[in-house]
Chains A and B, each alone.
Chain A
Amino acid sequence: MLTNIIRLELKRILGKKKLLVLGILGIGLLITGVVIYLEYNTPQRTSFEAFSFATGYILPLALPLLAGLSTGDMLAEDRHLGLVQLFMSRGVLPYQYISGKAIGSVVGQICFTGGLLITFLLTTFLLFPAGPILEYAADFAKAFAATNPMVYCLVLLLIYVCAATAFSGIALLVSVWIENIFVVVVTPTILYFAALYSLSMSLINPYCYLALNEGVSSSPSFTFLKVMGYWITISVTVHVLAVMAFSLKKDHS
């Protein structure tokens, strides 16, 4: 039954036209980042640098909303439409149902954010030649980005995907209690900006981990692992909490 539920959720989430629309919107936003990149000076304009600049400029602001809009409403939509009762009446247990949603949320974000960023990276190849990132890379990894621009861009992609799954998980967790789709999809953005303005640039401020505002004291690989670990921890925690909270709920309608 669990396999069927997971398969069904993936089919549902990946078949949504909404993802295509949001993907086009996301590409549009990132292209805006490229336009802004053209106004900045750099010793050598390259596709990797355009990718690094545009993603670093746009995603720390837009990613929570994109993630919430794309997969954050999975449970809220079912609750709003009344579909949960139909699942339960077919013998689906609450933990099976919510596990399907959690896996759908993670895989959905891997496909959506990963697909968006890969498409954008390929788009930058049409605009600029490949080459090193000499200027617009994270402070702690400037040398690394100059010598390994492709790897640097792929690491960025992984970090954004991990962060996106965390934001989607937050929306999933919230929707265990809240049925209003609008509230659910904007909650990750509200929490993110609330943390950004209420927390100083400390160890737990999510903005630091999305904008890669890290110090230069650690080695790049250690810092990358730390950033990815931060988002993976949040992602796993919120998804597990969502599964537990929904499974323990007494009213799933």
Chain B
Amino acid sequence: MKEILKIRSLKKIVRRKPILRDINLTLSEGEILGLIGPNGAGKTTLLKIISGSITATAGSVQLAEPESGIGVLPETPALLPSLSGFQNLQLLASIRRKAREQEIREAMKTVGLDPANRKAVGNYSLGMKQRLMLAQAIMEKPKLLLLDEPTNGLDPLGIIDLRQLLFRLASQGVGIIIASHLLHEIELMCHRVAIISNGSIVREVNLQSSEQHLIEISVNSRSDWDKLVRWAGKDNLRPLPSKDFPRGILNSELPVSRVLAELLPAGIAIESIQRAAINLEAIFLECSQLKDGVYR
């Protein structure tokens, strides 16, 4: 996959206080990257530097296609309250003259808004404003989208719509960075997650299962469990607390189908078997431990 964004040794210092320290990050075409971190970790600053509204103290941000622009969804809706939704987008579109009226209407329809609605944006609900902001971010068909807390104010249906829209855009080759506090949403939406703490990326986690070696497995009886332990080796099987069937996490590089194919002939009665999902919450807590009562 072609890299559309490359961040090298990025630093931001404000009044001698480091806000971002040596950030290195890449984003490929069609990739959805989640940025998570405690409040004040530097997520929004990083997005603002990428979008060009803040200058970095050192380092570089390289866009593969700078002419295609960046779609930005800021943390709070940035709209002129006296204008209608369509007029707001028209105004922003007039900066580059890239999106015509038809494209503005399409973008509004994509996010579930009526372009013919003449109501002033000041009377919109927070969810409608957020949808409109999303429309302005995608209307010029940028190759890079920066979304800061995109689910803010959205109802459950809006969140589902957003998720589907992002998957669709990613499948069209758009690279997306999402900063959010909602770990569950990040888990559902993103291919990869970067955890920022105290201005540094402390960990990158690939949420795509192909790189995972953990399989959650439960068997019918204690004797089946003993057979499983013998098959896997004690070090590769970690038991999990269970109310009914014996259950555990198997560490194996084999695909699930292959594990299944080996266990069934061995006479092990399997109740369930699946790839173990990454526990983002556990990873996040590990990376953002409290130090002296504050996040480190």
Contacts and interface: CB of A to CB of B under 8 A. Distances in A.
Interface in A1-21: 1, 4-5, 7-8, 11-12, 17
A252 interface: yes
B92 to A, nearest CB: 6
Interface string A70-97: 0000000000011111111111100000
A90 B67 CA distance: 9
Q: Classify the secondary structure of A's interface with B.
A: helix
The list of the 10 closest CB pairs from A to B, nearest first, reads: A82-B78, A89-B72, A88-B53, A89-B51, A88-B52, A85-B53, A250-B55, A89-B70, A253-B53, A90-B95
Given A89-B71, A253-B53, A4 B82 contact: no
A39 interface: no
A149 B148 CA distance: 61
Given A12-B91, A17-B82, A252-B53, A86 B136 contact: yes
B264 to A, nearest CB: 55
A92 to B, nearest CB: 6
Nearest to B48: A253
A253 B53 CA distance: 6
A91 B72 contact: no
B254 interface: no
Given A1-B96, A4-B94, A4-B97, A84 B53 contact: yes
Interface in B36-53: 48, 51-53
Interface string B60-100: 00000011011110101111101000000001101111000
Contact of A91 (B80, B94, B96): B96
Contacts of A87: 95
Given A5-B95, A85-B48, A91 B69 contact: yes
Contacts of B94: 4, 7-8, 11
A91 B51 contact: no
